[in-house]
């Protein structure tokens, strides 16, 4: 299926998981805005636009999952630090459990599909064990 554009699908998928990813980072320790954005950016392909992290943080705050506080550190200017709330931790725990099962299920289906295609392609040796339903 070459030439198909998956950008829209991955964008929606990415939007769905960004919130839990932010919560996971904040569960490790509180972070200020730029610090959080940089840590998110280190995960390749997760962020397409760093600026969207801030609206996301505000939505998580509105949901009661994230809170913020101003801190002074040494001679630096005051910064707003974001941290996860107890509600946020509970949500993250639930998401982690669901995500593991969901990702495993998707992965299984995608592998099956790839296996079938390999078997059906004419003139090419199947890489794995052929499926019995291939004709």
Partner 1 sequence: MKTALEHPLVADYLRRLDNALASLEAGAAAELSEQLRAHFIDALAADASDDKVAEVLASLGPPATVAAEAGPPWPERRHPRQPLRRRIAIRVRRTSLRAWLIIVPLAATICLAAGTRIYWAVQPSLGFNGGSYTWWYPVDATHDVISRAAFVTQDTVALRPGQLQGIGILLYNPSDMTQRILGTPRILDTPHFGGFLGTPEPPQIAVSTTMPWKLEGEPHELRYEIGGAIPPHSYRWVRVLWRSWHCLANEPGGWFGSNELTVRVQLGWVTRTETIQLPTLFALSITKANLDAGYCKAHGGFQPQP
Among 10, 11, 48, 93, binds partner 1 (CB under 8 A): 48
Out of 72, 101, 123, 132, name the contact with partner 1 by CB under 8 A.
72
Instruction: State which of positions 7-46 bind partner 1 (CB under 8 A).
Output: 30, 32-34, 37, 41
Tell me whether residue 79 is exposed, middle or buried, using C-beta atoms within 10 angstroms of its C-beta: 0 to 12, 13 to 18, 19 or more.
middle
State which of positions 51-70 bind partner 1 (CB under 8 A). Answer: 51-52, 54-59, 61-64, 66-70
Determine the Cα angle at 31 with ends 72 and 7, to 5°.
Answer: 145
One of 2, 42, 77, 129 touching partner 1 (CB under 8 A): 77
Cβ neighbourhood burial of 16 (10 Å; 0-12, 13-18, 19+): exposed
């Amino acid at each position: 299926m070459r030439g198909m554009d998956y950008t829209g699908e991955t964008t929606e998928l990415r939007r769905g998981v960004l919130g839990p990813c932010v919560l996971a980072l904040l569960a490790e320790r509180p972070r200020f805005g730029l610090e959080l954005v940089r840590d998110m950016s280190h995960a390749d392909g997760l962020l397409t636009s760093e600026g969207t992290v801030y609206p996301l943080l505000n939505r998580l705050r509105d949901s009661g999952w994230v809170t913020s506080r101003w801190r002074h550190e040494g001679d630096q200017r005051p910064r707003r630090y974001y941290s996860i709330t107890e509600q946020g931790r509970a949500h993250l725990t639930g998401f982690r459990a669901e995500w593991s099962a969901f990702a495993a299920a998707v992965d299984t289906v995608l592998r099956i599909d790839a296996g079938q295609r390999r078997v059906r392609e004419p003139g090419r040796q199947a890489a794995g064990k052929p499926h019995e339903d291939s004709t």
